[in-house]
Chains A and B, each alone.
Chain A
Amino acid sequence: MIHLDRLTYAYPGGLTPVLQDVTLHVAEREFVLVTGPSGAGKSTLLRCLNGLVPHFSGGTLSGRVSVAGHDPVADGPQVLSRFVGFVFQDPEAQFVMDRVENEIAFALENQAVPPDEMRARVEEVLGLLDLTSLRDRPLETLSGGERQRVAIAAALALRPRILVLDEPTSQLDPLSAQDVLETLVRLRDRIELTILLAEHRLERVLPHVDRLVYLQGCGQPVLSGWPREILGQMDLTPPLITLGKALGWKPLPLTVDEARALARAQVASGRREISRPHPEPPPSRHAASTSTFSEALLEVERLSFSYGANRVLCRVSLAVGRGELVALVGPNGSGKTTLLRCIVGLLNPDQGRILLEGESVAGRDTADLCRRIGYLPQNPNDLLFADTVLEELEVTLRNLGLSDAPPVDPDELLDRLHLREVATSYPRDLSVGQRQRVALGAVTVTRPRLLLLDEPTRGMDYPAKTELVRLLRQWQAEGTGVLLVTHDVELVAQAADRVALLVGGEIVADGPPSPVLTESPMFAPQMARLFPHSGWLTVGDVLSHLRPLTSLPLCGKLSPDDNFSFPGE
């Protein structure tokens, strides 16, 4: 169905090719998962399939591409639109029309499908994606998952034989992401379709995938084959696979269910040697969490906030101590961002009070508060406007009148953020992870005592994430308190000292990570699901308990101190 033969492509002005000698063959009806670190050319590869590369992007391409018997390079994206349906990362950025039906009909209108047939096809696609009840809805009233489903429907309207999705869930919260992935799995069973999906959240899709394509980037060859085979050769894998590899499980389990029996056997074989009874909290950093952070940095007391008649926060109480990292988790729309905006004074709460180092913040100016609070909004692009990375940091200092005596040397901060080599680059040319770090630099150059981070790992790949965790640890060691809002359970499992669960504007749980995370099924990390009642959250936790019990050698560079995790869940 798809044949790439020694495909090499460089963007205009690019010194090194993004794709080098890529050879790939995909059969009809295969479900292919494309993964790899960011910047490895996943998007570029997918765009080659419908001719957006090189027709839209320019640049130089060599090698042979054949998709459904057509040559995208010669025919161009308009012709290929009949054979390849394309779904983009950001559901909002791909909508042309106002309502669900009209959006689906857009491609059909472009191909001059007669009105009666068009109506039938729209009906068919609506049914296929369970959108019939949403047909009249304006697109802006839909949830993220529903929007992405509409985008898939719109791509399928022309009955393409191939569906290509470029990280369709990276902008979505976990529930919406699951919604989209389940839709794909269902589609694959119901119609004849070859699916290519670029995705970070491997664990949900892995069980359904026929082929895994791993782009290593940096001119290294592309790996393609059976999922288990390729996973063995990958560095960045979901926690489950990492554990499976470390313990030498064969074949590698792809789901928690598959792994359960193996895990039980593993624990049973070592049980005789376990000195302590099992359900005991692991002796990790979590154990100390309640005692060392007695000195409160931020205290939120019975805070309530409403937008009009809509109550968003209801008597929320929360505290962050010096050097403590508190993770705030909860479903979409539960008021997490609203709470952060109240803390920095962008919103005025109806009731309750907020104390920063014992002083009330009520009536204080946002700019004034932000000398002591670093607030990183969800989208780093909203922050970046200067010509260079260094200037971005200096602007904040200038705004706050701190340029003469900066609390942190900007150069030193750039070193810490690993941005030294791009200090003179234009911030918007950088990768997602780098941009996020520039934005982080812009809000932390005042050396805030409290950091508020809103979804900092959105769209970040695995190395960028470990980098962020490392940085946060450093700041924590210097006494900075961190309030981290995130959907990323594995990140919480590895970084948080305490977890607060916000549901429907109320704090429903607040405490050390392992009880809070393991008690709610929606937020349980993979390790907690694999070893229920153990209190283990990360691969490191599991290995530090199991290693003494097993005679198996640990492969490669893994050690119990490594906290392997993967974006997802």
Chain B
Amino acid sequence: MLDVRAWLLWALTVLVAASSCRNPLYVVLLLLIVALTDVSFSAEKERRGFPSLFRFAALAVPLSAAFNALTVHFGETVLFRLPGWLPLLGGRVTLEALVFGLMNGLVVTLIFGGFSVFNRVTPVHDLVRLAPQAFHEAGVVVSIALTFIPETNRSLNRIREAQAVRGHRVRGLRDWLPIVVPLLVSGLERSMGLAEAMVARGYGAVSDRSHPLRLQLLLAGGLLALLSGWLGWLFFPGPTPLALSVLAAGVCLVVGAVWLAGKEVPRTRYRSRRWRIRDTLVALGSVLTLAAVQLPIPMIGRDTLYHSPYPRLSLPSFHPLMALLLLGLLVPAAVAIRRRPR
């Protein structure tokens, strides 16, 4: 019910926030936001079970904490010592290392949560449709492949059963033949049928487009600028406005070339739903959070994002305005709750 592009921005923001934040208070806040979004977008049936996010956390957090505590020997609050002859593990085990590992586990869970929500709410096909017009054919091919995989899987199961019924047992490599042959042949037959169906519906109706020379020049120039800008940036470290502007120009040229190539494609794209207000809200919320965690805006306490437990454990600092801005990621959940009939 939200646009894929809005979701893409949301997921990106979660990812950026998770990777730039090491303050347990904020991480827990973000985790709660993601969990709430997860719950509000899962089907009624799935909601009764234990959310997959918590199951993942139950595994990842202790693992990460134990690993960090056993392998990192910094910190001042010593819990106990392991005998020194143990490779890697030997030495003191500190509370700080344990806390840091815990933190990392939570961040990993957060990233997982962001991806799992994104994966749940956006069909892969919709993502494929986001590909620029210039890559239309590639998009169609990927789209077909995506429907082919589950279909092939079902077909594999049916064939295995059919062969088992004839007394077939898989013992060696050769025994796969009766399964692989029907699978391949039926796959080929299906592809032929699909190709026929696509042609009958006018796929490839318009003659092969030619790439005009100016388009090729544009693309070549863009790539050249991109490369030289990147090299200049590598060889002259520090703020080099020239290299950066060449780089930016290169990016612009390449994007422009792809866009122009897309306009040459004599096809249009169907979008069932228009961009609505709630998509704008989600995008705005995400941009707000993104700005808060990435841009050096005064007054919002960006430096409270990073908190290190080393060398001695201390309470992490907390800035209410920062926390408020992180709530920008909560917009999808809010939209979902408003729309759900009571």
Beta-carbon contacts of B119-157 to A below 8 Å, as 1s and 0s?
A: 000010100010000000000100110110011000100
CA A108 to CA B270, docked complex, whole Å: 8
Which of A88, A101, A375, A384 touches B165 (beta carbons < 8 Å)?
A375
Contact assessment for B205 and A79 in the assembled complex, using a CB-CB cutoff below 8 Å: yes
Contact assessment for A82 and B125 in the assembled complex, using a CB-CB cutoff below 8 Å: no
Contact assessment for A113 and B268 in the assembled complex, using a CB-CB cutoff below 8 Å: yes
- A155 nearest CB neighbor, chain B only: B201
Contact assessment for B270 and A95 in the assembled complex, using a CB-CB cutoff below 8 Å: no
Of the candidates B155, B159, B179, B201, the one having the most CB atoms from chain A within 10 angstroms of its own CB is: B201
Residues of B near A367 (CB, < 8 A) are 164, 166-169
Contact assessment for B165 and A110 in the assembled complex, using a CB-CB cutoff below 8 Å: no
> In this assembly, does B181 line the interface, its C-beta being within 8 Å of a C-beta of chain A?
yes
Contact assessment for A395 and B147 in the assembled complex, using a CB-CB cutoff below 8 Å: no
CA A115 to CA B190, docked complex, whole Å: 31
Interfacial residues, chain A to chain B (CB-CB below 8 A): 50, 52, 55-56, 77-79, 81-82, 84, 86, 88, 90, 92-99, 101-102, 105-115, 118-119, 122, 135-136, 138-140, 154-155, 158, 341, 344, 346, 366-367, 370-371, 375, 377, 379, 381-385, 395-396, 399-400, 428, 442-443, 446
Residues of B near A443 (CB, < 8 A) are 165-166
Residues of B near A442 (CB, < 8 A) are 166
> In this assembly, does B186 line the interface, its C-beta being within 8 Å of a C-beta of chain A?
yes
- B158 nearest CB neighbor, chain A only: A382
Residues of A near B189 (CB, < 8 A) are 381
Which of B143, B203, B270 touches A119 (beta carbons < 8 Å)?
B270
Residues of B near A346 (CB, < 8 A) are 161, 164-165
Contact assessment for A399 and B166 in the assembled complex, using a CB-CB cutoff below 8 Å: yes
Contact assessment for B162 and A383 in the assembled complex, using a CB-CB cutoff below 8 Å: yes
Contact assessment for A81 and B205 in the assembled complex, using a CB-CB cutoff below 8 Å: yes
Given contacts A98-B146, A382-B158, 9 further A-B contacts (CB under 8 A): A93-B197, A96-B140, A111-B205, A370-B165, A379-B158, A385-B178, A396-B166, A443-B166, A446-B167
Residues of A near B158 (CB, < 8 A) are 377, 379, 382
Contact assessment for A109 and B193 in the assembled complex, using a CB-CB cutoff below 8 Å: no
Q: Is the contact region of chain B dominated by helix, strand, or loop, or is it mixed?
A: helix
Interfacial residues, chain B to chain A (CB-CB below 8 A): 123, 125, 129, 140, 143-144, 146-147, 150-151, 155, 158-159, 161-169, 177-179, 181-182, 185-186, 189-190, 193-206, 266-272
Contact assessment for A109 and B269 in the assembled complex, using a CB-CB cutoff below 8 Å: yes
Residues of A near B272 (CB, < 8 A) are 101-102, 119, 122, 135-136
Contact assessment for B204 and A399 in the assembled complex, using a CB-CB cutoff below 8 Å: no
Residues of B near A381 (CB, < 8 A) are 182, 185-186, 189
Which of B123, B155, B159, B194 touches A94 (beta carbons < 8 Å)?
B194
Contact assessment for B164 and A94 in the assembled complex, using a CB-CB cutoff below 8 Å: no
Contact assessment for B270 and A110 in the assembled complex, using a CB-CB cutoff below 8 Å: no
Of the candidates B166, B169, B177, the one having the most CB atoms from chain A within 10 angstroms of its own CB is: B166
